[in-house]
Amino acid sequence: MHAMVHLERPAGSPANASNMATKVFARGVNVYYGEKHALKDVNLDVPERAVTALIGPSGCGKSTFLRCINRMNDTIPIARITGKIEIDSQDIYDPTLDVVQLRARVGMVFQKPNPFPKSIYENVAYGPRIHGFAKSKQDLDEIVMTSLKKASLFEEVKDRLQDSGTSLSGGQQQRLCIARAIAVSPEVILMDEPCSALDPIATAKIEELIDELRANFTIIIVTHSMQQAARVSQRTAFFHLGVLVEEGATETMFTTPRDRRTQDYITGRFG
Amino acid sequence: MTNEHIAKAFDVDLQELTQKAAEMGGLAEREVADAVAALVRRDTELATKVISTDVTIDALQREIEEKAILLIARRQPMAVDLREIVGALRVCNDLERIGDLAKNIGKRVAVLDGDFSPQKLIRGVEHMAELVLGQLKRVLDAYAGRDLSGALAVWKGDEEIDAMCTSLFRELLTYMMEDPRNITFFIHLMFCAKNIERIGDHATNIAETVHYMIEGRPIADQRPKGDTTAFASLPVT
């Protein structure tokens, strides 16, 4: 079945062009919120161990698409999804699939840092503990430390792991949320405007972190900052009015986009 | 061209940049025409004027560069806007070089002395200059009008000028061998001819920039080349 789906891929589509293995494979994805057709027939190949940026004006469907990848839209009663999304060739809308397991494989970081009102340590330890990743306290300590290190936060918080997560600065809180997301060893990390509430220094730190994380994770980031998309991503997809207008190598998208709508949006000409 | 930006000030800035580049183009065109006229008529007064005009062109180049850099810093331009700004930078760079080459002709006119003026050769240089001025005018029009086919025509039209320069070179060599007393004059004339030929090359550079601004990629073909002065010689007898 899966091989057939691949055969349907049009020539010159992203995965062929980029020579990168496809991690997330979306075909004919439609999302309806009640009467509203929010996402229209989206086909997208997200390459493994790379950063894919989703850009587009507010309400264009980029966050909706992002939320399809860890089935967050399931939590919205009026949302209805059709089409196919696969991660590593596995259909994530398969009724037998465990959604909790899926969300461990697909982590998410939100626009506003949202640490639990618990200690820094507990924020990171929570996921691995409920998923049974740690056999002992030592194991858990190890996971917490490595996750904080990977999120470039460890040095700043190592002496106050028992302080509340909410006592950290905005940028630190966001890195804590990233540490929390990677503590359960996800394969894909979804980021929904992770820097929009941060100052330029904190933003630079997160961007640096994203660049490091892509060695081990597949990252999909929704951003309103064109410059951020240009800086951090290898692939960029432009959404408009629920349609995926254009997808391609980031350098091409920001220098010579093919579609007029992409060009108008990235150059600030959208009325 | 394209739609307007949401930030109107960006459009104003971009227009200003293009206008300045066009202004600079007009000045450079004029300077070349004057330099050639000064050469043909041996008009040292006009030659001096050419030399002083070049200062204005240099100042305009600096102004355009500053504007472009400020625009990049302030707007972080993307796609077509970025190419527009990079295009203006490149074009004004070529125009500045064109101005320098014209100025150099002016300087040579000032030092050419005596009444020696072989009309046939001067006509040859003049004719070549007419072709180059035509190229320059067309490419500046193509730049102002974002005219891709116009730019490509200029790009392909340089071959004839190159060929003329080569043939002029051979002719001058013959004259020099005939009468070594006029070698100084002929050397200066040869440099003038070479300067004019170089101006033609800068016109094709501008054509390439216009192509890049519109298409976002360099011209794929090889440009036809007719300048073989680098290999030309007369048989030693």
pLDDT at B167: 92
CA dihedral angle for residue A254, residue A255, residue A258, residue A264, rounded to 10 degrees: 60
Q: Is A263 on the interface with B (CB under 8 A)?
A: yes
pLDDT of residue B227: 73
Segment B209-237 mean pLDDT = 78
Alpha-carbon distance of A147 to A246, in angstroms, equals 35
Per-residue pLDDT, A18:
52
Does position A80 have pLDDT exceeding 60, yes or no? yes
**Is some CB atom of chain B closer than 8 A to the CB atom of A268?**
yes
pLDDT digits (tens, 9 = 90+) for B139-183: 999 999 999 999 999 999 998 899 999 999 999 999 899 988 889
B-chain residues near A266 (CB < 8 A): 78-79
- Confidence (pLDDT) at B224: 72
pLDDT on residue B17: 95
- Between B5, B216, B217, which is nearest A267 by CB? B5
Chain B residues in contact with A270 (beta carbon < 8 A): 6
CB-nearest to B4 from A256, A266, A269 is A269
Q: Inform me whether the pLDDT recorded for B92 exceeds 80.
A: yes
Residue A86 pLDDT: 97
Query: How far is Cα A234 from Cα B4, in angstroms, rounded to an integer?
Result: 29
| Cα dihedral B3/B9/B10/B13 (nearest 10) | 110
> What confidence tens digit (pLDDT) does each residue in B9-19 have?
899 999 999 99
CB < 8 Å & 24+ apart, contacts of A200-208: A201/A171, A202/A169, A202/A170, A202/A171, A202/A172, A202/A174, A203/A171, A203/A228, A205/A152, A205/A171, A205/A175, A206/A171, A206/A174, A206/A175, A206/A178, A207/A231, A207/A232, A208/A152
Q: Which DSSP symbol is given to B5?
A: P
Region of poorest pLDDT, from A13-17, A219-223, B22-26, B43-47:
A13-17
pLDDT at B114 over 80: no
- The predicted model gives A52-64 an average pLDDT of 95
What mean pLDDT, rounded, does chain A reach? 90
User: Which domains are assigned to chain A?
Assistant: 2-266 (3.40.50.300)
> What's residue B144's pLDDT?
94
B interface residues, A as partner, C-beta within 8 Å = 2-7, 10, 76-83, 215-217
CA atoms within 13 A of residue B93's CA, in its CB half-sphere: 11
Residue A32, beta-bridge partner list: A37, A80
pLDDT for the residue numbered B113: 66
Distance from CA of B59 to the nearest CA of A (A): 30
Asked if the model's pLDDT at residue B108 lies above 80, the reply is yes
- The percentage of chain A sitting over the pLDDT mark of 90, rounded to a whole number, equals 83
If pLDDT is split at 50, 70 and 90, which confidence band does A271 have? low
CB B54 within 8 A of CB B102: yes
Say yes or no: ipTM exceeds 0.95. no
Residues B203 and B137 sit within 8 Å (Cβ to Cβ): no
Q: What is the C-alpha separation between B88 and B64, in angstroms, rounded? A: 8
- pLDDT recorded at residue B220: 82
Q: DSSP class of residue B181?
A: G
Q: How far is B149 from chain A (nearest CA, A)?
A: 19
State the pLDDT at residue A110. Answer: 93
pTM for this prediction: 0.81
How many CA within 13 A on the CB side of residue A7?
A: 4
Q: How far apart are CA B206 and CA B88, in angstroms?
A: 10
Q: Per-residue pLDDT for A4 more than 50?
A: no
Look at residue A47 and give its three-state secondary structure: strand
**Please, which pLDDT band fits residue B222 given cuts at 50, 70 and 90?**
confident
Least confident interval from B45-54, B68-77, B114-123: B114-123
Taking 70 as the threshold, does the pLDDT of residue A10 lie above it?
no
Average pLDDT over chain B, rounded to an integer: 91
Q: How far apart are CA B179 and CA B195, in angstroms?
A: 24
Average pLDDT over residues A136-150: 94
pLDDT grade for A195, boundaries at 50, 70 and 90: very high
Indicate whether A82 pLDDT > 50. yes
Q: What is the largest CA-CA distance in chain A?
A: 57
User: Closest Cα to residue A87, out of A107, A117, A111, A73?
Assistant: A107
- Domains for chain B: give ranges and CATH numbers: 8-215 (1.20.58.220)
Rounded CA separation B27/B237 (Å)? 47
Q: In angstroms, rounded to a whole number, what is the distance separating the alpha carbons of residues B30 and B53?
A: 9
Contact A254 B78 (CB under 8 A): yes
What average pLDDT does the segment B134-141 reach? 97
